[in-house]
Chains A and B, each alone.
Chain A
Amino acid sequence: GAGVSQSPSNKVTEKGKDVELRCDPISGHTALYWYRQSLGQGLEFLIYFQGNSAPDKSGLPSDRFSAERTGGSVSTLTIQRTQQEDSAVYLCASSYNRVLDTQYFGPGTRLTVL
């Protein structure tokens, strides 16, 4: 079946603007994760959704970052008032149930804040 998809693949925005990044997980996967990857760095956990439970937001770097997951499927990561340090690749992953199930990653959205 189809893997995790993300859109857009690339996003260039001006400092101070808001951006929305979208993730479509694998159908039937109840767990969804957002990560951030800066150039040459590892993955930084941002937020985790599991079914209908309250999301684990412990990795969000500031209150400018928020995420929603509608209907237990599609998720949107929103960054308000973007800053240059927000430039990174934002990766979404999903797994069947929870972290001990294999996470399947999307191709990522490359965000550039000018």
Chain B
Amino acid sequence: GESVGLHLPTLSVQEGDNSIINCAYSNSASDYFIWYKQESGKGPQFIIDIRSNMDKRQGQRVTVLLNKTVKHLSLQIAATQPGDSAVYFCAENVPLRGGGSQGNLIFGKGTKLSVKP
């Protein structure tokens, strides 16, 4: 079964507000996390990533926070715009025993973000 899940399947925000999308993961050995954005009819698009030796990383209007103590990941979008409406997926990489990384990511089910004008 999936080890990555989301607290909220849908999120509706007003244009200009900040959005926070949450993700829980279950494998404490996961060493790399990614957020993807998927618009209707398109493939997922990389937004931002973070490695387990960090607890915060910022991009343009987006910030990812990692709390390894409670195995929680969040994506913050500042000044949310209508173009941010999409499904957001978190994904984790679980390294193989003995080093190296698994050849695939484990994805959560996604949160749908709707931005109201």
Which residues of chain A have a CB within 8 Å of any CB of chain B?
4, 31, 33, 35, 40-45, 48, 50, 56, 58-59, 91, 93, 98-100, 102-108
Contact = CB atoms under 8 A, between A and B. Distances in A.
Contacts of A48: 103-104
Contact of B104 (A33, A41, A42, A105): A33
> Which residue, of A31, A42, A45, A100, has the highest number of chain B Cβ atoms within 10 A?
A42
Interface string B41-64: 111111001000000000000000
Interface of B: 2, 4, 32, 34, 36, 41-46, 49, 89, 91, 93, 101-110
Contacts of B44: 43, 91, 93, 105
Contact of A100 (B89, B93, B107): B93
A103 B46 CA distance: 7
Contacts of A102: 34, 46, 49
B42 A45 contact: no
B103 A50 contact: yes
Given A41-B109, A43-B105, A105-B36, 16 more contacts: A4-B43, A31-B103, A42-B107, A43-B44, A43-B107, A45-B104, A48-B104, A56-B103, A58-B104, A93-B44, A98-B103, A99-B93, A99-B101, A99-B104, A107-B43, A108-B43
Nearest to B36: A105
A99 B105 contact: yes
A99 B36 CA distance: 14
Given A106-B43, A107-B42, A42 B89 contact: yes
A45 B43 contact: no
A42 B46 contact: no
Nearest to A44: B107
8 contacts: A4-B43, A44-B107, A99-B104, A102-B49, A103-B34, A103-B105, A105-B45, A107-B41
Q: Which 7 A-B pairs have the closest CB atoms?
A: A105-B43, A48-B103, A45-B104, A43-B107, A42-B109, A42-B107, A56-B103
